[in-house]
Amino acid sequence: MTISLTPEHSTPLQPQGWLRYLSFSTDHKVIGLQYLVCGFIFYLIGGALAGAIRTELLTPISDFLPRETYNEVLTLHGTVMIFLWIVPVVNGAFGNYLIPFYVGARDMAFPRLNAVAFWLIPPAGLLLISSYFIASAAQSGWTAYPPLSITTPATGQIIWILSVLLLGGSSIFGGINFIATILKLRRPGLKLMQLPMYCWAMLGTSILVVLSTPVLAGTLVLLSFDIIAHTGFFNPSLGGNAVVYQHLFWFYSHPAVYIMVLPAFGLVSEILPIHCRKPLFGYTTMVYSIMGIVFLGLIVWAHHMFTSGTPPWMRLFFTIATSFIAVPTGIKFFNWLATMWGGRIALNSAMLFSCGFIINFVFGGITGVALAQVPFDIHVHDTYFVVAHFHYIVYGGTVFVIFASIYHWYPKVTGRLLNEDLGRLHFLLTFVGFNLCFAPQHWLGLNGMPRRVAEYDPQFELINQLSSVGALLMAISTLPFLLNVVLSAFNGAPAGDNPWNALTPEWLTSSPPPVENWKGEAPLVTEPYGYGTPAGELPLAATSGSELWKLGNSDQRS
């Protein structure tokens, strides 16, 4: 690796060079990269599990895996992707790397807690994966509904619970760190409303993490009591209530989707202005939208339970509340479009993936508003329509943003640029493969295919095969990406400090940054989105006639 992060004065006891990434380092940049690489490995594992699912679904009968194994595979796929890939990467990887830069600090508020939070992840992940080989893994889905999770083999389920408890703990420690860093560690002179939008996104996300993850922890503890001690919290045959589990589970798991998506929103807000050379449109409303999503996100959980035994008035409340989340979310999308409008857009890989994100997420958001309506959901609940919806959000949304962010920040982290041709190929394969895989699944759900099945009505065979081809394309798309990341580390063009001519603090230091983030004082950036030429100063040679004409009519600088 040519990433030369070796400081000038080295202490013999501390690991140096690439060994730091295998050590208990308290440097937020090291930890951020640890999260990223570890998370990506789990992405590949989760992807292999998805490959197994799509292979099984090539035929309408259960002929690829034993039935219990298939249920283990789908359980692990969901659990790995959520708790070991997306949550750690958009929060832990990018959050830890970027937030100290953005608040003008040398590191996070609690560097050792940070290291602890990361190092909970590899053992928890190994524990979870190993359950597949040791005993049988959990096979009740990532949602682990009782009584099924109480009646399936206990060992796998308990290992699953332990693993998720560890991962939830990691997430909570991270959340505490982000809240303290953003609220308390800002450099002198830097006000909250001058922070880059990603800080607001992480603040909102961390509030959700701290408030909702512990409820999951408590619920899984009760579930484990039911499994081990034969209590009857959620076991109807012992006087318990299976639906109470669902309420408690979804109280966390709905905010969890915002924990997966809000940081991605923040990252897009960083990427778009730079490559469009325009300020982020509507900073203040973007902040309020984030807070609106955080608040609403905590009170909509029962839209996952519209066909469970909930009373009609409760279903109605959750329909209305869920529908309203579309408003602050929509504001953000319109603001991003307005940021692009009138810009000078460089259509590089980071922008391609960002635009792909907008297209995919709008689609997923539309199906989301549909799902929020009780009568609509009654037909499609627990079908492939829902599978399609959430993959458009988490993959088409968050994963696309993760890729955009890697193309955007790789030069800063390594000092080298990624290859653009490989990047475009990666985007094309991913965008086509992803839409081919998941778009047809909406139709499958509407027409009768439930989820979590290995066998289905033969009329769905062709569409399922189409979907599996899309999945294959998605698998292939990782190859140009991995090639690019590895080769560019050795042969990529040198990036310099600021290849994108950006204004946020991480670009105002070397690539890669020194251990203390900046040599000398942290820069005070009061206008992180100060791009754009004021209306009266557009250069004659570069403008169009309509712009010059508008110049005489209005000055839109606020």
Partner 1 sequence: MTSLSPSESLSQQEASEAHEHHGDFRMFGLATFLVADGMTFAGFFAAYLTFRAVNPLPSGATYELEMVLPTINTLLLLISSFTFHRAGAAMKRNQRALGQRWLLISAALGFAFLAGQMKEYFELPFGLTDNLFASTFYAITGFHGLHVTLGGLMILIVWWQCREGGRVSQDNLFPLEAAELYWHFVDGIWVVLYGILYLL
Partner 2 sequence: MRIPPAILTLITGMALVLLGLWIGQNVNLLPVDASANAPVYDELFKVLFSIGTILFVGIVGLIVYSLVKFRRKPGETGDGEAVEGNLPLEILWTAIPAVVVLFVGIYSYDIYDRMGGMAPLNDHSMHAMGGEMEESRTWGGISPVSLESDGAAAPLPIDVTAMQFAFIFHYPDAEITSGELHVPMGQPVALHMKANDVIHAFWVPEFRLKQDVIPGQPTLLSFTATRPGRYPIVCAELCGPYHGGMRSTVIVDEPETFEAWVNQNSPIANAAPQTPVQS
Among 166, 196, 183, residue whose Cα is nearest residue 108: 183
Q: Which of 222, 280, 393, 502 binds partner 1 (CB under 8 A)?
A: 222
Q: Which of 52-60, 70-78, 238-246, 370-378 is the region at the interface with partner 1 (rule: CB under 8 A)?
A: 238-246
Per-position b or e across 302-314, b if 16+ CB within 10 A of its CB: bbbbbeeebeeee
How many residues make contact with partner 1 (CB under 8 A)? 58
What is the SS3 assignment for 382? coil
Sign of CA dihedral 430, 435, 436, 442: positive
Nearer to partner 2, 139 or 224 (CB): 139
194 membership: H or E segment, kind and range: none
d(CA 20, CA 36): 14
The amino acid at 252: Y
- The tokens for 355 are 């635009």
Q: Which of 75-83, 215-223, 425-433, 441-449 is the region at the interface with partner 1 (rule: CB under 8 A)?
A: 215-223
- Binders of partner 1 in range 108-127 (CB under 8 A): 109-111, 113
The amino acid at 106: R
Per-residue contact track with partner 1, 67 to 96, x per CB under 8 A? ------------------------------
- Binders of partner 1 in range 26-45 (CB under 8 A): 26-27
Binds 155, which of partner 2, partner 1, none (CB < 5 to 8 A, cut-off by type)? none
Instruction: Look up tokens 């606020």; give the residue.
Output: 558
Nearer to partner 2, 149 or 181 (CB): 149
- Binders of partner 1 in range 412-471 (CB under 8 A): none
The amino acid at 251: F
Annotate 1-36 with DSSP letters as a single string: -------SS--TTS--GGGGGGS----HHHHHHHHH
Q: How far is the CB of 259 from partner 1 (least distance, A)?
A: 14
Read off the DSSP letter of residue 85: I
Binds 366, which of partner 1, partner 2, none (CB < 5 to 8 A, cut-off by type)? partner 2
What is the SS3 assignment for 416? strand
Nearer to partner 2, 27 or 226 (CB): 226
Cα 226 from chain centroid (whole Å): 32
Q: Which of 58, 180, 463, 472 binds partner 1 (CB under 8 A)?
A: 180
Nearer to partner 2, 71 or 213 (CB): 71
Q: How far is the CB of 498 from partner 2 (least distance, A)?
A: 14
Burial (CB count <10 Å: 0-12, 13-18, 19+), residue 162: middle
Nearer to partner 1, 142 or 233 (CB): 233
Nearer to partner 1, 229 or 540 (CB): 229
Read off the DSSP letter of residue 15: -
Site residues, partner 1 (CB under 8 A):
7-11, 14, 25-27, 105-107, 109-111, 113, 172, 175-177, 179-180, 183-185, 187, 210-215, 217-219, 221-222, 225, 229-233, 238-241, 244, 247-248, 251, 514-516, 519-522
